Structures are given as C-alpha cells and as structure tokens.
Structure 1
C-alpha cells in the first residue's frame, strides 16, 4: 500500500527571496503569487527563515508610533523591530519551521498544528529548498476518488496484507467513508481489518459491520487470568 509523503503533494516550483530582499519586494511577491508566506534563503541557498503576512503587518501596525516607542522602548520590542525592518533578514521569523520530502503526511499535519503555520518549506538534507507544502496540499490525500480508495483497500489491505478472500469482506466507499461488511473467523482479525482500512491515506472514516465466529480476544484474556501469577482468579471456578 502506498504511503503518502510530502513528496506526493508538495509544490516544487517554490519561490523564495534572498536575505537582502526589500520589504516592497516581499509584499509584491506575496500579492503576485497569492501566497501568505515566502522562505528566505542565505547565500548558500539554505532556508534560514520565513516572511509571512503577519510579519509584514507590523510595519502597518506600528506606523506613526515613534513617540510612543520613545516613551515605552521595551514594549513589544520584537514586533516593533520587525515593523522597522527593511529587508527579509530583518522581517523574517527564524529559525524556519521546515520538513523533508519523505515526511509522512500525518507528521506534517501535526507539525503545522503544533507550530501554528499554514505552510512549510520542504528542504533537502543539506537545508536547500526543494518545495513548499501548504495545508491545502496536505488535504489533497482526501480528494482521492472513491474507486481508487476501494482498489487500495481490496488489493493492498485485504488481499495482499491480510490474505482474505474477496467474498469474506465487502467494501463500499462513499466520499471517503468506508463501510465493511462480512464475517471473519476471529475477532482480532476483524479489529485488525478495521484499523488497517482506517489507516489507508484518504479514508475519512470506517463503518464497521463485520461479524466474527470466535471472540479470541476474550478467550486470551480468560486464559491470561487463569495462568498469570498475579491473577486473583480462582482456577477452580
């Protein structure tokens, strides 16, 4: 089964600016490309920071507040310094939050959520820029067509991984929501099937209508209770 990574969804024609790019150059680039942030590169083409719309807005926020700055020089100093910045080096947020092209999509989504960023520069092992991935790019996996999802589930999960026959599990997919029906010999196999189908990239939810003949999970717990040295179960009962 294909494991989707950043490489599968990232934009490879990423734009960036050098550290000495002017404020106006950055503003014009964001407007022209309709993007909300741009990576900043050092002379060796490595990503050293990111300038976002939020960074640029400090110049608007603090315009005309020189007198207040003199009275309260330490109030919001980092933001004020960005408001006075003229180059990408002075405006950028650093260090940049980046990811690699082989990062799994769930890991990238968690990173974006934890850091509160909308896009990530994608860098090679040497730190050079190879692409950009946005929240919208990460969500592309959920745009996979239902027939494609069904093929992945039936061929990669049920047949090749779990070795199930076609008649044992019936698969329906509607807008990424998977419904499983059928009868399997063991409860643990049924639960494993649901977990593995839920992990297929693009699956939104799994409706489990599988039945089973043997509750081997309960049987295992019962045997553990009778045989474990710390069990309080009376073997004679």
Structure 2
C-alpha cells in the first residue's frame, strides 16, 4: 500500500501571505491539525500546524510591549514550519506511518516532485485499519475482476492478509495481481497462488 492509496485529495491549502487568523479559522472550521503552505504554482513551501499558531501566543505572564516589539505575527509565513516533511505518492504506507509516529507528525504532505498532490493524516491511516476483511476482499475482487475477469481469481482476506488463487498458471499475471492487492487500503500482505484447472 502506497501513500497515494490512502492520501486525502484535493487538499485545503494556504499561502504564505494568508493571515494567521484565517489559517486558525480554517483549522477550527474543518477540524484539521495542519495546513500545507504552497506558492502560486502549488509547490509545497511549508506547513502550518496548530502548534505553530499557538507558539508564543499564550505566555505565563502578559508581555510588556516596547517600541521595538513588532507584535504578534500577522501572516502564515511568519509562523509556518519550513521546510515541511513531505513524502512522495509512491512512498510505502508503512514507512509513512513510522515517520508520523517517530517524528510525531499528525499530517504529512504528499508531493509529486515539489507539487502538492495530497496529504496523509493519522486519521487516514486509522481509517485503513478500521476496514473489515469483508470490505477489503470486496474491494480486491473488484480490482482483480478488471484484470482477467471475475471468475479467474479466488480471494480470501484474514486480518489484512490477502490470499489470492489464480485459475491459470501465469507468473507475470500473479505479479500484477500481487501489486494490485498491495494497493488496496487495508491489505498488509498479499500471497498469490496458482491452481490451474485440470484438463478435461
């Protein structure tokens, strides 16, 4: 399973000139924890998180303003995290999950080159875990039906492991079937076997 298989798209973004108050409003209204920051060409230049917006805004004691104090930041460019940690659409979902957990990211932008194409959040990954084996198997059968017809493949899924049986003995086709299966959200492992029909 790859990032492209679990990412959310299209993506709500902000620009570096977006007011901090507007970014905060979007996070609250949409229930997000972060927003990618892009330039005019949709290239990722940073990310603004809840933590970025809160940093330095609520001190233990009221700040005493001086003539040199510029006041609170006005634009996203002043508070965003840059560069943003991003991954390609082809990144393995397991690697992506590890990065999110190890580095404590709640949202990872997904890019094609430097252009933003989606985001993966912890909720996206949890949604995959919530799929039942029956849902996964039905999804896998639909995808395999396009490749070789619905009667060619037998599919069983248990705890996210897909067992696929091919009625024909074609090694190249089994390789394609495995790739298709591994792209199905919720499949953690795919085993493809061949059981050719006996000649009559």
Secondary structure of residue in 2 paired with 1:56: helix
Bigger Rg, structure 1 or 2: 1
Instruction: Classify the secondary structure of the residue corresponding to 1:144.
Output: coil
Is contact 1:17-1:38 (8 Å) kept?
yes
Corresponding residue to 1:202 among 182, 186, 191:
186
TM-score, length-scaled by structure 1 = 0.54
Report if aligned partners of 2:160, 2:186 keep a CA contact under 8 Å in 1.
Answer: no
Alignment of 1:33-48 (within 5 A): 33-48=30-45
Query: Match for residue 54 of structure 2?
Result: 57
Between the aligned partners of 2:18 and 2:60, the Cα distance in structure 1 is 21
CA displacement 1:156-189 (0-9 Å, x = unmatched): 9xxxxxxxxx9xxxx783xx377x9xxxxxxxxx
Q: Which of 110, 115, 118 is the matching residue for 1:122?
A: 110
- 1:128-167 aligned at under 5 Å gives the runs 128-147=115-134
Change (3 A) 1:59 1:25: farther
Q: Which runs of 5+ in 2 are unaligned?
A: 145-153, 164-181, 190-200
Listed as ranges, the gaps of 5+ residues in structure 1 are 71-79, 157-165, 181-199, 206-237
Structure number with greater CO (CA < 8 Å, separation at least 6) is: 2
> Closer, same or farther in 2 for the Cα pair 1:112/1:139, shift >3 Å?
same
Residues 41, 49 of structure 1: 8 Å contact kept:
yes
Number of the residue aligned with 1:31: 28
Q: Tell me the SS of whatever aligns to 2:88.
A: coil
**C-alpha distance after superposition, 1:100-155 (max 9, x if no partner):** 11111101101111221101111111x11111111111233323332355687xxx
Residue matched to 2:99: 111
Residues 6 and 138 of structure 1 are in contact (CA less than 8 Å); yes or no, is this contact kept in structure 2?
no
Higher helix share: 1
Q: Note the 1:206-221 alignment, pairs <5 A.
A: none
Alpha-carbon distance in structure 2 between the residues aligned to 1:115 and 1:63 = 27
RMSD: 3.5
Instruction: Give the CA deviation at 1:53.
Output: 0.7
1:227 matched residue in structure 2? none
Distance change in 2, residues 1:65/1:30 (3 Å)? same
Q: Cα offset for 1:202?
A: 3.4
**CA shift in 2, pair 1:149/1:15, >3 Å:** closer
The equivalent residue for 2:88 is 100
